[in-house]
Every structure is written in C-alpha cells, then in structure tokens.
Homo-oligomer: A and B are copies of this chain.
Amino acid sequence: MSSKQVNFYNRVKMLRVERGLSRQQLAELINVHPQTIGYIERQQFNPTIELALNLSKALGVGLDAMFSAEPFELVDEAALRPSAKTNK
C-alpha cells in the first residue's frame, strides 16, 4: 500500500487498546486481515461502512464515537466520570 493519508479521524486504536485487544485479535473478531486494522489505525485508508459497523459491534461503541470528520479531543477527566456522555 503506497501510504496515502485520509482526511478524517478515528479512535479505533484507542478503543482497541483500552479493551486489551491486539490487532490480530480484533481482526479475528471481525474477520479481516490484521494489516487492515493497522491501515485504519494509521489513517492510511478509508474503510467501508460494513467494516465500520463490524468494528462498532466488536468494540461496543457507535459509529459516531469511532469516526469523525473533525479530530477527536483527548479524553479528559470529566469524560471518564460515570455519568459522562459520548464524543466531543
């Protein structure tokens, strides 16, 4: 893959790592090649909705919490409180 770079953002790596999964493991959960996860995490390509829906299910978060046209903010302390809402 000739190393492009995509113009939107995702939180796949953060979510995967938080759940203690390796790329290999996540890839198996959704039946894709482990490299495919790598490319997505490095924003080197533009996955399909179907793949995104599978990631969404495997990681237990909605699409909007995982993909965004705007950069995600860092998770701050407030967001980690039990009552916290999603995204932004």
Contacts and interface: CB of A to CB of B under 8 A. Distances in A.
A50 interface: yes
A8 B64 contact: no
Interface of A is mostly: mixed
A21 interface: no
A46 B49 contact: yes
Given A47-B49, A53-B67, A62-B63, 8 more contacts: A8-B49, A8-B53, A49-B49, A52-B63, A52-B67, A53-B69, A63-B63, A63-B67
14 contacts: A7-B50, A8-B49, A8-B53, A46-B49, A47-B48, A47-B49, A48-B48, A49-B67, A52-B63, A53-B69, A56-B69, A62-B63, A62-B64, A63-B67
